[in-house]
Amino acid sequence: MVLGCEKRTALKLQDPRITPSKICKVDHHILLAFAGLNADARILVDKARVEAQSHKLTLEDPVSVEYLTKYVAGVQQKYTQLGGVRPFGIATLIAGFDVRDDVPKLFQTEPSGVFNAWKAHAIGRSSKTVKEFLEKHYEEDLSEEETIKLTVKSLLEVVQTGAKNIEVSVLKPGAVIKKLDVDEIKKYVDAIEAEKAAEAGDVREIPLSELHEFHNHPFQIRSDEELAEMIESVREHGVLVPGIVRKRKEGGYEIISGHTRKHVCEVLGFETMPVFVKEMDNDEASVVMVDSNIQRENIRPSEKAKAYKIKYDAMKNQGKAGNSLKMMSEESGENYKMIQRYIWLARLSDDLLALVDNKQLGLVQGVSLSVLPEEEQSMVYDAICRYGKKISTIQANEIKKFSLEGKLDADRLEEYLFSVPKQKKKKEITLRNERLSEYFEEETTEEEMMKIILELLDEWKQKRGGGQNE
Listed in sequence order, the residues at least 6 apart from 86 whose beta carbon sits closer than 8 Å to its beta carbon are 79
Q: Round to whole Å and give the CA distance between 192 and 236.
A: 18
Fold of 201-279: 3.90.1530
CA distance 357 to 125: 20
Domain limits, the chain: 2-197, 201-279, 433-463
The answer to whether the beta carbons of residues 29 and 96 sit under 8 Å apart is: yes
Residues 192 and 156: beta-carbon distance below 8 Å: yes
β-strand 176-179 against 166-172: which pairing, if any? antiparallel
Cα-Cα end-to-end distance for the chain: 87
pTM above 0.85, yes or no: no
CA distance 343 to 312: 8
CA 370 to chain centre: 20
Could you tell me the strand order of the sheet in which 104-109 lies? 23-27, 30-36, 90-97, 104-109, 115-117
Instruction: State how far the Cα of 411 lies from the Cα of 417, in Å rounded to an integer.
Output: 10
Q: How high is the pLDDT of residue 447?
A: 80
How many residues in the chain? 470
> Closest by alpha carbon to 176, among 1, 52, 32?
1
> What number of other Cβ atoms are within 10 A of residue 277's Cβ?
17
Per-residue pLDDT of the chain (470 residues; tens, 9 = 90+): 899 988 766 666 777 666 678 999 999 999 999 998 889 999 999 999 999 999 999 998 999 999 999 999 999 999 998 888 899 999 999 999 998 888 999 999 999 999 999 999 999 877 888 888 899 889 888 888 999 999 998 888 877 666 778 889 999 887 778 899 888 888 888 888 777 766 655 678 999 999 999 988 888 887 777 788 888 888 888 887 888 999 998 999 999 988 999 999 999 999 999 998 888 899 999 988 988 888 776 789 999 999 999 999 998 888 876 678 888 887 777 788 888 999 999 999 999 999 999 988 999 999 999 999 999 899 889 888 887 778 888 888 888 988 888 888 887 777 766 654 444 555 667 777 767 777 777 777 778 788 888 888 888 878 776 544 44
Per-residue pLDDT, 51:
95
Q: What is the pLDDT of residue 466?
A: 52
Label residue 428 exposed, middle or buried (CB < 10 Å: 0-12, 13-18, 19+): exposed
The CATH classification number of 2-197 equals 3.60.20.10
CB under 8 Å to 280, separation ≥6 — which residues?
246, 256, 288
